[in-house]
Amino acid sequence: MKLRILIWPHELVTGGSQINAIDLAAELGKLGHEVELFAPPGPLVSKIEALGVSYRPAPQTRGGLDLRILRAFGAEMRRFEPDIVHTFESSPSIHSSIAAFRRPQRNVTTIMSMSVPAHIPAHVPLTVGTGALSEGQAGRAGQVYLWEPPVDTEFDAPGDTVRAREVLGLDPERAVISVVGRLSAEHQKARGIVAALDTLAATADLPPVTVIVAGAGDEESLVVQAAARANEHPNIDVRLLGNVPDPRPVYDAADIVFGMGGSALRAMSHAKPVIVQGRDGFWLLLSPETAPQFRITGYFGEGTSGGPTFGELVTRLIAQPIMRDQLGQFGRELVVADYSLAHAARLIESIYLEEVDADRSRASVRRSLNRAYLRYAKFRVALAAPWLQDAFRAVTGRHE
């Protein structure tokens, strides 16, 4: 059955969730479906164009509910008339659900973040990226699917390290450490990079290294400051590239990659050894021994791992090229076997077909949407000022 599919990522800056949405759109097109991407313009538009996926720009989000976005989405629905709308992350999900009051539609929502907002409507099928999140949604009324971040293992494949370093203008005598991702407050991504740079600068006997940082975000200034501090060290050269539409050379140039989630998986697909970054000082080397826990946590962690520091891991890996090669090959084999884009697209296709055929009464959908909107209103009130939660409860009499 050929479907008309509208995929709506929340933004098009470099990030795992956005790249997953784009890669999925391209793969679904190969399966014969008519697919369109709808999102605010950003650096990843060039990737969409390179893959030949139809793209329609959405207004830039200003936070909260936005009438401009609702109007633009409504116009796109009337023009494209999709069979299914697949939203990525919470803002597109809630906007799409509100639009459903006026125009009933079939939705699927993907949350690749490390937590699922309570305001995702319960009747909408939900996919999450880790086993832990899937287990955490056991009490949810609607369907929950584990959809681990897919990797296009043909696109993200081992490349020419020497050529990549030439393209990036890197000193061939220095070891290269790379990270690709958003420099954001979310999951302490930016602060993890800051900690990595500060730790390297404090590491005894650190060999000459170049650190490549590809990405931008709301805490970018913290990374800029940390880079300036680290660059005072004679053996450290930090390069901040900003958003990079095609980060493959950043991966290819590296001896070591650090990061989390989809970025870690893409580094593995490039056959690079990976140090997994998490929150609150978490660092752990991906290896055959640690891989089982990362299958559950989504290549993420919280709190100290109890092992070597980031600087110690880097120093050890630089000194052991054979170990780097072995770990890189292990990661590549793991991604090819279990995280291929083709397999992920088939799973999503089956979810779409099931949703298109689902039989739900309009009344049950309205009840689900009403509960979701109430939770969303409470969420926005809490963001505005935590003390307003009590006022909200007093006015509504609700304690959800």
Helix, strand, coil % over all residues of the chain, rounded to 5: 45, 15, 40
Query: Residue 400's pLDDT is what?
Result: 43
Location of structure tokens 């006022």:
391
The fold adopted by the segment(s) 4-150+341-396 is Rossmann fold (3.40.50)
The owner of tokens 């053996």 is 235
Q: What is the pLDDT of residue 377?
A: 76
Amino acid 104: pLDDT: 64
Q: Note the pLDDT tens digit of each residue in 10-46.
A: 999 888 899 999 999 999 999 999 999 999 999 999 9
Q: What is the pLDDT of residue 392?
A: 46
Question: How far is Cα 108 from Cα 142, in angstroms, rounded to an integer?
Answer: 11
Domain 161-338 has CATH 3.40.50.2000: yes
Name the 3-class secondary structure at 259: strand
Q: Where are the domains of the chain?
A: 4-150+341-396, 161-338
Average pLDDT over the chain, rounded to an integer: 90
The predicted pLDDT at position 142 comes to 83
pTM to 2 decimal places:
0.79
Residue type, 111: I
Query: To which residue do tokens 């890669």 refer?
Result: 23
The conformational region for residue 193 under phi > 0 = left, psi -120 to 50 = alpha, else beta, is alpha
Spans of the chain below 70 pLDDT: 63, 100-104, 381-400
Consecutive H or E run containing 16: helix 16-30
- Looking at residue 44, its pLDDT comes to 93
Is 4-150+341-396's fold the same as 161-338's?
Answer: yes
